[in-house]
Structure 1
Amino acid sequence: MQDQDVDVDVADAAKETFTSSETDDWKKYKDDDIMQQHSAIQAEQAVKVPFLGDKEPLSSLEAEYHLGNSIVLEKIKVLSEQYAAIRRTRGDGNCFFRSFMFGYLEHILESQDHNEVQHIKSNIEECKKTLQSLGYAEFTFEDFFALFLEQLDSVLQGSEDSISHDELLCRSRDPSISDYVVMFFRFVTSGEIRKRSEFFEPFILGLTNTSVEQFCKSAVEPMGEESDHVQITALSDALGVPIRVVYLDRSSCENNSINVNHHDFIPTSREVGNSDVSKTTNRPSITLLYRPGHYDILYPK
């Protein structure tokens, strides 16, 4: 079940709730009452879906759109030329961070790239310093950082604490671990946005009429808040991890050709004391599928 499916269920549930009342009763509901009930129904539907599903063949997507837009079905066929499988995530507003979490740890588990692990640990240490310099008390984020580092070490094989792929999936479905790692990512993302506020401010103003600080407090740090281009850019830059996002939507293509667009978020590198930013040439090891309002994990052939 994806976000669009949740929305359908929410709409149906809301309809069932209110059609039993007279039309006049509907008018008595204030907007905030309606939104509160909508959120409650959505939350109830979301918990029925696991944080992370099992890997499925990409063809399973076609069943969701067999009565829908023909352009989407054609795009799924194009996707199947490059990608073999999908892993679904719960549509609870944390799907980007949850997908990134599992995708990255799975990548390290399979690659056993110790140099990359040392690289990301170095970047995490810089993220700590960033938060401290911004006035965050260490006790507010240290547990989240420690837990992610523990998961990172556990996917490296050769010690008594090493875990298998099945154990990684089990841990990623455990709220006491998964939610903590999501909060780790949210703190890292918020710190990066605040540190480079002049860079991110124009993008934030394009999304919402709030300051950088307000944006971080309301749209980045709280659990359940959805992520967009700003959050993905900030997380990729802060951790030094490239991310590919493939977009599956109903938009038509030029000259009646069917293309599936993607964007590679390539982390920036900055010289100490130098404000100039240059792009690296890293190839993304994590690919996420984006459908309006939701992210899942894609697996190349």
Structure 2
Amino acid sequence: MTSTPLPEEQPPAPRLNATQLPDVDVPQPSGNAPLVVDENTDLSTLTPAQLYELNQRTLDESTRSSSDLPLIAAVAPIRVLREEYDGAPAFVRQIDFLATKGYHGIRRTRGDGDCFYRSLAFAYIERIMSTPDPALEATIAISTLDAAVPLLETVGFDKFAYEDFYEELLGLLRRVGSGAPDQLSPETLLSAFQAPEVSTAIVVFLRLLTSAQIRCDPDAFDAFLFHPDFGNQMTARDFCESFVEPTGKEADHVQMTALARALKVNAKVAYLDGHDPNGAVDFVSFESALDPSTPPVVLLYRPGHYDILDTRSLEAIQL
């Protein structure tokens, strides 16, 4: 099994709070006039904080009134994302780069702090459904989960606290390739994840599973457990109780690594940050599948938010 990169080997995931910003200004330090960003702006001259603000402003615009957005949406062509960054050529170049790598679509998730867990869960099941033998892959996934569940009781979670949440995930996996009238289809999978009672239950279970994985593997994780705002080192229990188990908390690299290991899934995260002058996009890989050649699920990260990248043809997405 290929080891997952350690957290310190991965690009930082900013944990700044989103703010609503005006349409064209990137705030400067107090006392300076705001910087106007247009097609003539060289983004390589901007500080990381200014790039963050520019990216966050666009994200805010696309997720404004997020409570009215579905928990997870149908796939949209990647050009929709490109249009959001009109006037920010560094980001447009990165989006075009993603398109040249075969990422023709984006599936949005609601920006509620649970977007990583919801995105990964949906893409995880969708990938199983797309394999040559989805029923077999679903059986393997269920076996993997059943083997991981005892970790929850090992760290003190009562079975009654998680079994109903687990059952929602199992229920979907059992319908994959079942041949039954209620066999899971792309449409019914999307409908399930748009239902708050199902979607949130799966998020809660995966958060508990992530917490258990972190607590049960101190050699892998303890050295990387820091408070995201103050930088002080935390115990596994305090870290998990504060930032992993509660819903609405953004996931960091520790959580991504832990969940990939618990699910034995390969995942890649593309960082849309505007940093590369040539438009290249950094991908961080989390490789924990039993078969290293297993295709990964691929997420798109913008500061504070995750969506799913889709590799289907543009024609298929637009049908």
TM-score (norm 2): 0.73
Contact 1:245-1:288 within 8 A present in 2 as well:
yes
Count of aligned positions: 251
Structure 2 match to 1:38: none
Q: Residue 295 of structure 1 aligns to a residue in which SS?
A: strand
Secondary structure (helix, strand or coil) at the match of 2:149 reads helix
Whether 1:300 aligns to 2:307 is: no
- 1:186 matched to which residue of 2? 207
Cα pair distance change 1:44/1:285, threshold 3 Å: closer
Contact 1:242 1:266 in 2 (8 A): yes
Name the counterpart of 1:151: 172
1:71 paired to 2:82: no
Matching residue's letter, 1:215? F
Q: Distance in 2 between matches of 1:160 and 1:296?
A: 31
1:177 matched residue in structure 2: 198
Q: Distance in 2 between matches of 1:297 and 1:110?
A: 15
TM-superposed deviation, 1:185:
0.7
After superposition, what is the alpha-carbon deviation per residue over 1:134-181, rounded to whole angstroms, capped at 9, x for unaligned?
Answer: 122110111111111001112324013313211111111000100001
| Contact 2:266–2:285 (Cα < 8 Å) also in 1 | yes
SS in 1 for 2:300: strand
Q: Paired residue for 2:287?
A: 266
Which of 125, 128, 136 does residue 146 from structure 2 map onto?
Answer: 125
What's the secondary structure of 1:224's corresponding residue? coil
Q: Conserved in 2, the CA contact under 8 Å of 1:264 and 1:284?
A: no
Could you say if the C-alpha distance between residues 297 and 231 of structure 1 is closer, same or farther in structure 2, counting changes exceeding 3 Å?
same
**Partner of residue 109, structure 2:** 89
Deviates more, 1:244-253 or 1:79-88: 244-253
Relative contact order higher in (CA < 8 Å, ≥ 6 apart): 2
What amino acid is the match of 1:219? Answer: F
Cα shift at 1:211: 1.4
Alpha-carbon separation, structure 2, partners of 1:265 and 1:259? 19
Q: Tell me what 1:202 maps to.
A: 223
Q: By how many angstroms is 1:120 displaced?
A: 1.9
Sort the Cα spacing of 1:140 and 1:123 in 2 relative to 1 into closer, same or farther, 3 A: same
Letter in 2 for 1:110: S
- The CA RMSD over aligned residues, in Å, is 2.2
CA contact (8 A) 2:134 2:176 kept: no
- Which has the larger Rg? 1
Offset, 1:268: 7.0
- Structure 2 counterpart of 1:130, which letter? L
Distance 1:203 1:282 in 2: 28
Q: Which of 236, 243, 246 is 1:219 aligned to?
A: 243
8 A Cα contact 2:18 2:304, kept in partner: no
For residues 112-143 of structure 1, give each alpha carbon's deviation from its aligned partner in whole angstroms, at most 9, with x where no partner exists: 43332222222212222111121221101111
Residue of structure 2 equivalent to 1:26: none
Cα offset, 1:62, TM superposition: 1.4
Alpha-carbon distance, 1:8 to partner? 5.1
Residue among 48, 55, 59 paired with 2:79: 59
> Structure 1 residues 176 and 218, CA, compared in 2 at 3 Å: closer, same or farther?
same
Structure 1 residue identity aligned to 2:98: L
More helix by share: 1
- Cα distance in 1 for partners of 2:129, 2:217 equals 32
SS at match of 2:121: helix
Q: Percentage identity across aligned positions?
A: 35
- Cα distance in 2 for residues equivalent to 1:194 and 1:220: 11
SS for the counterpart of 1:59 is helix
1:254-292 CA-to-partner distances (Å, cap 9, x unmatched) read: xxx3311101100177xxxxxxxxxx5233331111111
Which residue type is aligned with residue 93 of structure 2? E
Q: How many Å separate the matches in 1 of 2:152 and 2:182?
A: 29
Inter-CA distance 226–122: structure 2 relative to 1 (3 Å threshold) = same
State the SS of the aligned residue for 2:104. Answer: strand
Matching residue's letter, 1:282? S
Matched, 1:48 2:54: no
Task: Between 152-161 and 257-266, report the one with greater CA deviation.
Answer: 152-161
Task: Tell me how far apart the structure 2 counterparts of residues 166 and 115 of structure 1 sit (CA, whole Å).
Answer: 21
Cα pair 2:214 2:258 within 8 Å, conserved: yes
